[in-house]
Structure 1
Amino acid sequence: MSPTPDATDAWMRRIRPHADASVRLVCFPHAGGSATYYHPLAHSLARIPGAEVLAVQYPGRQDRRREPFVDSVPLLADHVTAALNPLADRPLVLFGHSMGATLAYEVAHRLRARRPESEPRWLLVSGRRAPSRFREGTVHLRTDAQLVEELRRVGGTDPAFLDDPELLDTILPVIRNDYRAIESYRWTPAPPLTCPVTVLVGAQDPQTTLDEAAAWREHTSGPFALRDFPGGHFYLDVHRQGVADALSQALERVARPMETLGGNGR
């Protein structure tokens, strides 16, 4: 069944719209995150002619707060792929941080399965080990107090939220759901992507070692690059311009003629 425009609008937020985009950047938030997280990053991007920037809005938060959560990465990927399908008439570049990295990877495979020519032109992932590298996760099973302690440890959440009981009541169910989704995820072996993959990671990230980040190389037959930044899991909040530079370089390459991607151009 083809997705309706309403379905696409429900899942996608156009942070930097472009009526006649030549390339679309789609950003996938982390566990507990929302589309608005990417507003500062979008504004830090170099002005790439013809580039449109979108972010995925998961249900159960912000303007979708009354919708039921989705606690499965594969099911989320199915929904996002259906919503993206009408937008795949232009080259896509996918970027995801943490849980969003795994979700972007799954969406890339689903887009390719629908139409090989719809495989994203570039996949950029941040703060997440390769799908083939498994760690047991139990954060979603912890008490509220233990979950707050974990959020303080990894950063990325405004301390004002963590110190306010009323605000905590609104965000903890979202975060617990998303941790359940990513901690229950199991990679299904699949042929590697053919698009370039760029991995960004904090050198002191407790959730992703450099070896685990480098293992993303196994998931593409195309060009691969790994860049580490000083900092932990939310290094990108401090090094936003460095992340924006990596995204801008990918968008520029995709916006050029196909031969600029070497033997991988499509």
Structure 2
Amino acid sequence: MFGSFLLMLSYLSGRADAYSEYFLQTCHSSKLDLSDMVYVESYYFNRIKYLVFNSTYGKFVGYTEVGERLAEAYNSNEAFLTDEQNVVNRYCNPAVRLYKTYGIRFISEPRVKLSLGKPFSDNHPGMLVCSAYDFYPKMIHMSWYRNGQKVTSDVLATEELADGDWFYQSHSHLEFTPKTGEKITCVVEHISFNKSREFVWDSSMLESERNKVAIGAAGLVLGLVVCTAGLLYYRKKSQGWIMVPPAFEFITH
């Protein structure tokens, strides 16, 4: 995910030595344009969740016997469901836009790098790593595309990691089988970008790496041949030498 814009409103009733009930209203979005905004309303009794409304499904779901009865009653009221659904536009979207405008006073653009890594499994011989460094705020979304098609398998992403200096880093891994001419792209979304940015892996880099390995191996073999020839030449020449003890000259005054 791009990370969630999360806004919460809670209500609590009850006493510390008795039963307690509360509910949470949360707004989640993973896109810069807020087109996937989701409103979730969750009800708890003594820390047990018993009823949830999710705007994605447009209905209540019960998690206990009491919750199921309440969900059935609420879902039969079309006007009430419509009002709950409208919270997305009435509350969530305006609140998040306000936060984006005034709540984020410091923004740092991620520095993105593509590199080769060691595969985590034996399913594929290669692995690409898309790394984002020194970004703020924390929310970021990284996805992979192969020849224009989004990749959903063989992808492993890490959580955003704090650098300890207000900045974050994140890494996404794609295991793959190298193919000549293949275009692999890492798409990065961050609030510091006006739109998502694409970082393309050049498949010719793989050929370059193979050439470097081949050249290195050939150089090593040539070095061994030259070294062996030199050693044989030295041994052959040394067999005809006679070691003469050094002469000492005594000078007297």
Normalising by the smaller structure, the TM-score range is under 0.3
TM-score in terms of structure 2 length: 0.22
Query: Which structure's residues are more often strand, by fraction?
Result: 2
Determine which structure has more spread, i.e. the larger CA radius of gyration: 2
